Structures are given as structure tokens and as C-alpha cells.
Structure 1
Amino acid sequence: MAEADRPAALARIREIKVAGPDELDAQLRSSTAPFVVRGLVADWPLVHEGRRSPRAARDYLQRHARDLPFAVSVGRPDSGGRLFYDDGLAMNFQMLRAKLPEIFARIDASEGTADAHAIYLASIDLHQFFVGLHEANHVDLGGRAPIASIWMGTQTRIAAHNDVPDNLACVAVGRRRFTLFPREQFRNLYLGPLDNTPAGRPVSMVDFHNPDFAAHPRFREALARAQVAELDAGDALYIPSLWWHHVEGIAAFNVLVNYWWRETPRWLGQPQDALNHAILALRDLPADEKAHWREMFDHYVFDNDTAATAHIPEQARGILAPLTLESAGRLRAFLLRALSR
């Protein structure tokens, strides 16, 4: 990269201290920006085993693993750990299934080997695939009912993406670098396909290790708003809903445990599904019709004020009234019938 192309040093993600679960809960409720808590999970047994050695951490994980096949991504030796697309926009990694001892044996065999295959187990459900691991290694998140997942593997680079839920990411073994961007930076990240993605979410097409500013000039604007943190074992990072994050596992072996939760009810629909349906139903309409539907969406969805319902008797407002579990279920059933025609 030419000197003129080098970005200025990125801002650091702010760090806070919390004295216990109540203070953590208050910070999670009030914060609209990311923050780091150093040492939040330093007392986990998994963290202690990882400090002994990567193999000790793997042995500890195997003792808790269920006898089930795990989904594992295996990258190409020349990928530099970047799990991404190839030149034809197919994935540059294979998805395989194997039991954890077999996967860890392959990591053992490649440890210290130059240009080894990247091996990555992503978003593994802690309760489904392990016995007692969550109970021995978890964060008290109060009344939240989060999804708890574990991410394990060798050195990897995961393209910038975002998630709908809020996220508390806890480094248990190794070291990770996170580069975060506010929600509104999506245009400057040059997102790839919506329906052909490495893991279900659209990702930035920019190679953060070697950005091509000729092809992606607005990425400079994204970098001006970026925040970065390097986390050691025991540290945790809060990533607010929809913030973009590029994640690198930079030790030889890395383990992260994360918690996803939404403050909205789980029975609400997924916004990405609505976007996909809008592409199907609206994007290719004539311009005047799209303008009309934009106004309709503003009226019923984004503004969502009394002008849409004041003239309708309260008992007859149907889905225009605040949704409940029952009315959301009826709406979902209606949509399924409509989409199946």
C-alpha cells in the first residue's frame, strides 16, 4: 500500500469498569456505542486452561463436548486465514462435519505449520453441543435470555458484517482484534451479495489487510468512523445491535463465547426478511409506484403515529394496533400463505 493510501490510526473503543452484574446490566441498557470490559471473564476455568496452553484449552473443551458432529469451516492454505469469497464469488472454504476430537487433532497436527488450513467452528450452540461448559463459564446477564454460542479456531479473518441482536463477545482463549463501524457506514463498506453470504449476513467486500481505495474509495470515510480494540483472554466487548464488525483471531488458537439478545420480543419478524421481500415486491416497480409505496411505508411503519389509526375503532385496528404474540402469529401465518401461492 502506498504511503498516501495508509489510513490514520483508528480510534480506540472506550473501556469501562464494572463492579458486578448490576453495573454491567446498567451499562448494557444505557450504552448506544461499543465498550470493552477488561478482565470481565478472567476467572473462567476455560480462560485459566487457555493460559496454560492452547492444547490444555482444547482438552478442557473436549471433556465437556457432546458426542455429536460439529460444523467446521476449513479454509485454503493460501487464504491467510481469510474466510471469504474466491474470485468467482464462491466460498473460499469448505463446510465439513466432524466430531470435536477429530477437529482438534487436525489443529494439533498443524500447530506451528506455515500456511496451514484455517480451521474455524463458528456460532456453536453452547447448550446443544456441550455439557456443563455454560454453567462453569458464563456471564450473569440478569433477566436477559440470550443465545450463548462458542467460536473456536486457528488464525482467521472474518469480513465486516452486522447482526440484529445486541452482542457481548468474551475472549476465552487467545487474542482477537475487532474493528467496528456505526450502523450508517454500510454504504462505505461496499457490501456484497444479500443472498450468497459466508454466514447468512452480507459482508464487506473490502480486504482490511490490503484495502483497494481505487475500487472502494468511500472506505476511507468508514475508516474515519472506525473503532478498534484488541482483546486478550478474559476481556469482553459489547457490540450494539447492527454495528458492523470485522473480527480477527490473531493467536494460533482462539476461543470466543458470545451472547446475543434482543430487547424486542422474539416473536417479531426478522428485518432482513422484510428487506428481501421488499426487493421481491417493490424494487423493480416503476418509479412512480415505488414513490407511492415509500410513502405507505413511512405512514404505516416508520412514522407509525396516530394518523394511521385514529379514525379506526380501537377494537377493529387489527395489525395496525401494537402487535402481540397472537396477532404476530396470525400475521406470520397470513404471509406464509401469501408467499406460497
Structure 2
Amino acid sequence: MAEPSPVFADLPRVAEESVAADALDARLRGADTPFIVRGVAADWPLVAAGRQNPGAARDYLLGFARERDFDIAIGRPGAERVFYDDAMGMDFRSERWPLARAFDLLAETEQRADPPLVYLASVDMQGYFRGLDVANRLPLGKRQTRDGIWIGGRTRVAAHNDIANNVAVAAVGRRRFTLFPPDQFANLYLGPLENSPGGRPISMVDFETPDFEGFPLFSRALDTASLAELGPGDALFVPQMWYHHVEALDRFNVLVNYWWNDEPRYLGHPEDALFHAILAIRDLPEEARAHWRSVFNHYVFDADGRTTDHVAPEGRGILAPLDVARAETIRMYLLRRLSR
């Protein structure tokens, strides 16, 4: 496997566990730190095709592809980093092509010394492939997963996190993950919240040549980091909110991932609350912000019996524990307020 940057070469490795595919569901229950399972998907037909050569893997995928256009990112020759340009736009152009055309471009450029970035990110597996998920299955019990497939040449995806839990399977090619606990977000120097290459705020630090003068707190993040290197058929569990920088190391790579949340589906998205708080609170005078900080602590972060014990149970409304009906009451209230 290609060596990581010297800055990261000595990081501790993510723990490896011996878990059979049919026992993975049970192992994931309550898991809150990353771990690797070697060879858990080694018997997938996609993995077998990739072991032959990139062309065989592409032919295999084309056999399942639906007749629709796929979103594809195409960057500059020699580019591998999925990132911004100097004006904070995207450093690649977005196209919609049939999968066969995208694969022709990959086949054409993968022998070049400076191939362009070619990347199909987070493709909905069921929506864009018919039966691929059934032929290449990871038993995850009754979890309602969102299944994605990532296809491309050599790429580097900046450190980011996901609200969902994630099992990532290297199906074709090798992958390297650099992982950080959730509390490292400030030390990773995240970029814009609403404008990012993949829909999640990303670290502005270039992991290939980190600038410790421009990003001095990044060294603190490295003190908490760990490295996971996956070969075809290996899987990595990334708990929700953990930051991960992802490198696809070969000339053709395919990653399959499974996202899920353990929280009830009726709950809202925490980042919606963050965006609303920026809109409504962040730019208030300091005295007003201090007041609202106390209010949030009382009703949200430190909520306990003192918040509601003085109100009769039948009159607590949304202050009572949330259920589907109370969540819908909040949702409809917010829609009315935000549409004014």
C-alpha cells in the first residue's frame, strides 16, 4: 500500500476485529469507536471482479446500471484532491453522463501520469443500479440503511464527518482513512457550512502537505488521530460524527458504504437547528446572546425535572419527551414561522 505522508505515517492504527459477516450486526450494537473487519466482503462478486482488473470491475458494474445519467466530477489533469478553487468555488466541473461514458473516460486516463480527477460520489445504490445490492450484500440486521457507492480514480477527500453511522467497504482498490474523534472539529479548521464539495463541511488542511503555521491547532487534532488502511473486501466502522479523511489509492477504486441512524426517524436534524441559530442568534448583541445561551441550556442541553415539574403532565406539550405527534407539531410550527 502506498505510504502515507510522513506527518501521518506513525499514527496509531485502528483496531482490527475478527467478526464474521453474519455477526457484524450484533457487534455494531452500541459500538462507538472505529474498528476494521478484514475480509468481511471478500466473497462479493464485485470484489472478485476487481481482483481481476479494473476493466472487469467496470464491466461488472455496467451489468447492473440503470439507464439514467450519473453525476460525475471531472477535475484538472493531475488533480486528486476534491476541494475548492482559489475563489472558493469547486475545483472541478460537474457533468451528468451515462455510466458507460464515465467508465470510458476512466479507462482512457488511468494510464496517464497526470490523469484528471474523475469521481462519482455517493451514488444511491438502489436508485442507480438494479440488484447490485442484492448480489453484494452485507448483513446488517434490521437497520434501515442508505447504501452508497463511490467510484473513481485516485482521490483525496478532505476530512469531514457524517451525522449517520457508517460501515465502509473497500470493494475495488485500496482505501486509507485518517480518523478523528468528534470533539476535534475546531482543530480541523472546517470550511463553509453551506458550500462544500460533498455536502458536508470539510477541513481546509491539506493532509498531503499540512501547513502548521496557517493551521497551528491541527497538531492537537493529530494527537487524537488514527489510521485505517483497507484492501478489497475489508470494512471499516465509522461512528456518527467521527471525522474522516479518505484516500482512494489505486487507478480504479470502488467503495460501498452503509449509513444508518439509531435515533428515531421523527427527530429533526441537528444541523438545521445550527443553521437556524446562526440566523436568529449569532449576530445579536452579547447580552442577548448570553440570555439565549441560558435558555438553550435550560430547555435543551441541561433539561431535567426542573424544566417541567412545575407544569401538569397533560399540559407540557413539546416540553414532554418527543414522540411522532409532538415532533410533527414542532415541524409544522417551524414551517409556518420560516415561511413568513
| TM-score (normalizing by structure 2) | 0.96
Q: Residue 200 of structure 1 corresponds to which residue in structure 2?
A: 199
What is the one-letter code of the residue matched to 1:182? P
Alpha-carbon separation, structure 1, partners of 2:159 and 2:295: 32
- Alpha-carbon offset, residue 7 of structure 1: 6.0
Report if the CA contact (8 A) 1:73-1:95 is conserved: yes
Q: Which amino acid aligns with 1:76?
A: R
Residues 110-149 of structure 1: CA deviation (Å, up to 9, x unaligned)? 1211211111111111111111100010111111111011
Question: Which residue pairs with 2:169 in the alignment?
Answer: 170
Partner of 2:185: 186
Name the SS for the 2:119 alignment partner.
Answer: strand
Return closer, same or farther for 1:7/1:102 CA change in 2, 3 Å cut-off. closer
- Report what 1:68 is aligned to: 68
Moved more, 70-79 or 229-238: 70-79
**How much does 1:219 deviate?**
0.7
Residue 35 (str. 1) matches residue 35 (str. 2): yes
Query: 1:280: how far off?
Result: 0.5
User: Residues of 2 paired with 1:195 and 1:17: CA distance?
Assistant: 40
Q: Secondary structure at the match of 1:30?
A: coil
How big is the shift at 1:86? Answer: 1.1
How many angstroms apart in 1 are the aligned matches of 2:135 and 2:122? 19
Name 1:132's counterpart in structure 2. 131
In the TM superposition, what is the alpha-carbon distance from 1:238 to its structure 2 partner? 0.2
Distance 1:317 1:18 in 2: 46
Higher mean C-alpha displacement, 233-242 vs 85-94: 85-94
Question: Over residues 204-242 of structure 1, what are the superposed CA-to-partner deviations in whole Å (9 max), with x where a residue is unaligned?
Answer: 000000000110111111111111011000000000000
CA pair 235-217 structure 1, distance change in 2 beyond 3 A:
same
Q: Give the aligned partner of residue 52 of structure 2.
A: 52
Point out the more displaced range, 180-189 or 69-78.
Answer: 69-78
Give the Cα–Cα distance (whole angstroms) in 1 for the partners of residues 75 and 317 of structure 2: 50
Cα distance in 1 between the residues matched to 2:45 and 2:9:
39
Q: Secondary structure at the match of 1:64?
A: coil
CA distance in 2: counterparts of 1:150 and 1:97, whole angstroms: 16
2:216 aligns with: 217
Structure 2 partner of 1:77: 77
Query: Which residue of 2 is the match for residue 13 of structure 1?
Result: 14
1:196 to partner: Cα distance: 1.3
Map of 1:264 onto structure 2: 263
1:298 matched to 2:277? The reply is no
Residues 17-69 of structure 1 show CA distances to partners (whole Å, capped at 9, x for unaligned) of 11342x32232113211000000100100000000111100000000000001
Deviations 1:174-212 (A, max 9, x none): 011000000001111011111211111110000000000
RMSD across aligned positions (CA) = 1.2
Q: Which runs of 5+ in 2 are unaligned?
A: 1-5
Q: Residues 24, 7 of structure 1: CA spacing in aligned structure 2 closer, same or farther, 3 A cutoff?
A: closer
What's 2:109 paired with? 110
Q: Shift of the alpha carbon at 1:267? A: 2.1
Distance 2:133 2:156 in 1: 26
User: Conserved in 2, the CA contact under 8 Å of 1:7 and 1:220?
Assistant: no
Deviation, 1:265, is: 1.5
Query: Which letter does structure 1 place at the counterpart of 2:12?
Result: A
In the aligned structure 1, how far is the partner of 2:125 from the partner of 2:78? 31
SS of the residue corresponding to residue 298 of structure 1 reads helix
Q: CA deviation at 1:276?
A: 0.7
Q: 1:340 Cα deviation (Å)?
A: 1.1
Deviations 1:92-119 (A, max 9, x none): 0111101101110111111211211111
| Structure 1: distance between partners of 2:7 and 2:119 | 30
Amino acid at match of 1:317: R
Secondary structure in 2 matching 1:72:
strand
CA distance in 1, matches of 2:321, 2:198: 32
The alignment partner of 2:55 has SS state of helix
Show the counterpart of 1:283.
282
CA gap 1:6/1:178 in 2 versus in 1, 3 angstroms:
closer
Report how many residues are paired.
335
Instruction: Give the deviation of 1:326 after TM superposition.
Output: 2.1
Runs of 4 or more, structure 1, over 2 Å off, are 5-8
Contact 2:78 2:113 in 1 (8 A): no
Whichever residue aligns with residue 184 of structure 2, its letter is: Q
For the 8 Å contact 2:20–2:40, the answer to whether it is kept is no
- Partner secondary structure for residue 29 of structure 2: helix
Equivalent residue of 1:282, what SS? helix
2:328 paired with 1:333: no
The equivalent of 1:226 in structure 2 is: 225
Q: CA deviation at 1:330?
A: 2.0
CA contact (8 A) 1:47 1:234 kept: yes
1:139-178 residue pairs with structure 2 within 5 A?
A: 139-178=138-177
Give the alignment's TM-score, normalised by structure 1.
0.96
Unaligned runs of 5+ in 1: none
- How far apart, CA to CA, are the structure 1 residues paired with 2:46 and 2:9? 36
